[in-house]
A and B are shown apart, each in its own frame.
Chain A
Amino acid sequence: NFMLTQPHSVSESPGKTVIISCTRSSGSIADNYVQWYQQRPGNAPTPVIYEYNLRPSGVPDRFSGSIDSSSNSASLTISGLETEDEADYYCQSSDNSDRWVFGGGTKLTVL
């Protein structure tokens, strides 16, 4: 099966913009939807982006998603960083048999 590789950690200051990447090891990133989940310590994950770039209701428009076929990767962009955005972020996609894969997760620190 394929893997989704994320940076282990990123950090940025409040008010700034951060981009978290998610690179697919095999198969095209454009062939299967990519979702992003936020997980705060001690809590279950919640979706922040689905179907590459759609936001669930209640997720602020500071969160956006995109894909880049040339690098076979997806990205989660969070602009106007707030301290409450500090969390772990996971990308997720599937193969053509509908088996899912999660990325290794990225710890976002807002300092």
Chain B
Amino acid sequence: QIQLVQSGAEMKKTGASVKISCKTSGYTFAHYLIHWVRQAPGQSLEWMGWINSANGNTLFSQTFQGRLTITRDTSASTAYLELNSLRSEDTAVYYCARFVRQQLVPWGQGSLVTVSS
């Protein structure tokens, strides 16, 4: 079946960077965009951006412009999110999800990133 499996929880210091992986299986990786969405504790979902798995093109929320990088490794069917200059407000669960006809389905299990000084 189609699965997106994300890397584990991370604890980072303020100002550091974090890189999260999203390994996909069960479908042709290059055929679908991967989106990234985060959710701070008790808060709403926040869209971060997407990557075109075929050609690597990306689009980011302006909220993260300059701090966010999304890449992919087609040979590994894996997408990556890297967020720099971390601050406490970046503490959240980060999700990757496959984009299919306007929907995000399925989603990864989420990766908790905790940022503290």
Chain A residues at the B interface, C-beta cutoff of 8 Å: 1, 33, 35, 37, 39, 44-47, 50-51, 56, 90, 92, 97-105
Interface residues of B toward A: which range?
20 to 34
B residues 46-98 with Cβ under 8 Å of A?
Answer: 46-47, 59, 61-62, 95, 97
Identify the closest chain B residue to A44 (Cβ). Answer: B107
Residues of B within 8 A of A44 (CB): 95, 97, 106-110
Query: Shortest distance in angstroms between A20's beta carbon and chain B's nearest beta carbon?
Result: 14
Q: Is the interface of B mostly helix, strand, loop or mixed?
A: strand
User: 8 new A-B pairs (CB below 8 Å) besides A44-B97, A98-B59, A100-B35?
Assistant: A37-B104, A46-B107, A50-B103, A92-B45, A99-B47, A99-B61, A102-B45, A102-B46
A35 to B101, CA, bound (A): 11
A82 to B97, CA, bound (A): 27
Query: Shortest distance in angstroms between A3's beta carbon and chain B's nearest beta carbon?
Result: 11
The answer on a CB contact under 8 Å between A104 and B110 is no
A46 to B103, CA, bound (A): 9
Query: Shortest distance in angstroms between B10's beta carbon and chain A's nearest beta carbon?
Result: 18
- A44-B110, A99-B59, A99-B62 given; A105·B105 CB < 8 A: no
